[in-house]
Structure 1
Amino acid sequence: MLPEWLPWLLQVNDSQFPSGAYAHSMGLEELVQRGVVQKPEDLERFLQHQIIPSLLAFELPFLVKAHACAAAGDYAALRLMDDELEAWKLAAELRQASRQLGSRRLALVQKLDADPALTSYAQSEAPCHHLIVCALELRHLPVTAVVCAFALQTISGYAISSMKLIRLGQERCQLIIRGCMTLIAPRLDALISTPSERLGWFNPLLEIASMRHARANERLFIS
C-alpha cells in the first residue's frame, strides 16, 4: 500500500519546489571560476570527495538527531541544534543561504498544510536553517526516508546548478546524481546510530570558495 506520507514528501522534495534553492550554488560557482570544476568528471570528483563525505560525517547524522528531537516534540532541543548549526557554518554566504532556504521552505509549507508546531517555530526567531526545517516538517515520516530525501536534494542541487556553469547535459547530470546516491544509500542505516561526539566535518575548500564568491565581480548565483 502507498504510504500516506509519500505524496507529501515527493512534493516538498521536488526540484521545482520554490524554496529559492535555484538561486544558490553553495560555493560551486566560485570553484568553477577558479578552475577546480570545469567538466563533468570534475563535478563527480568534487561531489564524491567533498560533498558526500560532508553529508555522511555531519549533515545526515545531524539531521537524524534533529529529526528525533522534532518527532519527540522537544522543540527546545531542536532550537539548540539550530543555533549549533549556525555556529558550524563559518562562511557568511553559506550561513545566510541555509537560513534563507529554511525560512522560505517553512513559510510555504505552512501555507500548504497548517501546522501549529511549524507556526510556533517560525515565530520563535530561530535561525531556521534548512536542515532543521526539514527535520521539523518531516518529523512524522520514517527517518530513513527523511535522510535519503535530504541527501538527494543536496546532491541534485549541486548537479543542477552545475548545468548553468559548465558543459553538462541533463542525461549526464542525472547519471552523476544516481552515482552519488548509490554511494550514499548503503550507509544510511549506519548513520542512524552515529554517536553525537562523532559528528563533524571541516571543508575549507567550500568555506574559502564561498568567502571569495562574496567579492566576485560577476555572479550568476547568490552563494
Structure 2
Amino acid sequence: MTTDWNTDPEPSDPNANSDGTPDSSAFLSALRLSDSFLPVGGYTASYGLEQYINEDRIEDGDDLRALIAAYLRRVVGPCETVALANAHAASAAGELEALLAVDERLHAVTMPREFRESSTKAGAKLCELLAETDTDDVDAESSDGSDADGTDLETAFADAVAADETPGHYPVAFGVVAQARGLSRREACLAHAHSFVTGLLGAAQRLGRFGHTEIQSVLADLESVIAAVCERHVDDEPAAMVSFAPLAEIMGMRHERAGRRLFMS
C-alpha cells in the first residue's frame, strides 16, 4: 500500500487552542528538542569539524560559515531532513514498517563509521530519555485518543531500537518524537537543523578557535540557509535520501585515527 504523505499541505494545527491560536506545548517541545541542554550526547560530536581544525583547514569565521553551510546543503538537507520528514509522516500514519525502512535507508547512506555511531547513540538516548521523562504526558495523550498513533509508534520504535531491530538514527527518532508532541514536519525539520548548526558551532567554540560574538554572527548568517534547506527537502520521498560531502566524510574517517581528539566524531 502506498501512502501519499508528502503532498499533505498540513492545513490546520490539531493542537491549536479553541480560538485558533497555536498551542504553546508544541513550541516549547521544539525549544526543548533543539536545545543543546538535551542530554543525548550531541556535545560529544563534531562530525569531522575537529579534524578540519586540526589540519588548519578552518582559519576564520568565513571558513566556518562556508563549511557549515555546505553541511546543511549536502548532508543535513538531502539526507537527514529527508529522513526526519518521512519519519514524521510515518509516525503520523502509524506505519512502523515504513518508519523502519527510513531508518535503514539513512544508515545505508551514512558512510563514516563515526557519523553512524554518533547518530545511533544519540537516537537511542533520545528514546530512552523521553521514555523516562515523558511517560505521564504520553499516557495522557493516549488515554483520550488525541495522539494515539504517534505515541504508540514512538513506543514501538523505541522498543525496536532497544532490541537492535533497527539502527535508531537520531533524525528518525527526532521525527517520531516531534510528531507525537505536535510539531509539524517543517517545524521538526527546522528545529533539528538549528540544533545541528548550534552543535557544530558549540564544538568550534570549545576547540578554542572562536569567541561568542563570532559564533553568534555565523549563526545569524546561517538562518536563511537553514530555512531554505528545510523548505527544499521537507517533501522529498525516502528514495531521494542521499549524502554527498566527500571531504567531510574523509575528515570524519581521518578523525577515527587522530592522535588528539576532544570529540567522538
- TM-score, length of structure 1 as denominator length: 0.92
Contact 2:42/2:199 (<8 A) preserved: yes
User: Quick check: 1:45 aligned with 2:38?
Assistant: no
**Letter matched to residue 199 of structure 2:** G
Aligned counterpart, 1:179: 221
User: Quick check: 1:155 aligned with 2:197?
Assistant: yes
User: Quick check: 1:128 aligned with 2:168?
Assistant: yes
Where structure 1 has 5 or more consecutive residues not aligned to the other structure, the ranges are: none
Which has the larger Rg?
2
Contact 2:91/2:154 (<8 A) preserved: no
Contact 1:39/1:166 (<8 A) preserved: no
Counterparts of 1:91 and 1:188, CA distance in 2: 23
Aligned-residue sequence identity (percent) comes to 26
Counterparts of 2:130 and 2:53, CA distance in 1: 33
Where structure 2 has 5 or more consecutive residues not aligned to the other structure, the ranges are: 1-20, 139-151
Aligned counterpart, 1:13: 34
Counterparts of 1:33 and 1:103, CA distance in 2: 30
Aligned counterpart, 1:36: 57
Q: Output the aligned Cα RMSD.
A: 1.8
- CA gap 1:190/1:44 in 2 versus in 1, 3 angstroms: closer
**Higher mean displacement: 145-154 or 162-171:** 162-171
Give the superposition deviation at 1:86: 1.1
Aligned counterpart, 1:110: 131
Counterparts of 2:244 and 2:100, CA distance in 1: 23
Counterparts of 2:68 and 2:39, CA distance in 1: 24
User: Quick check: 1:146 aligned with 2:188?
Assistant: yes
Aligned counterpart, 1:199: 241
Aligned residues: 223
**Higher mean displacement: 55-64 or 203-212:** 55-64
Aligned counterpart, 2:254: 212
Aligned counterpart, 2:78: 57
Aligned counterpart, 2:14: none
Q: Equivalent residue of 1:138, what SS?
A: helix
Counterparts of 2:71 and 2:184, CA distance in 1: 27
Counterparts of 2:239 and 2:227, CA distance in 1: 23
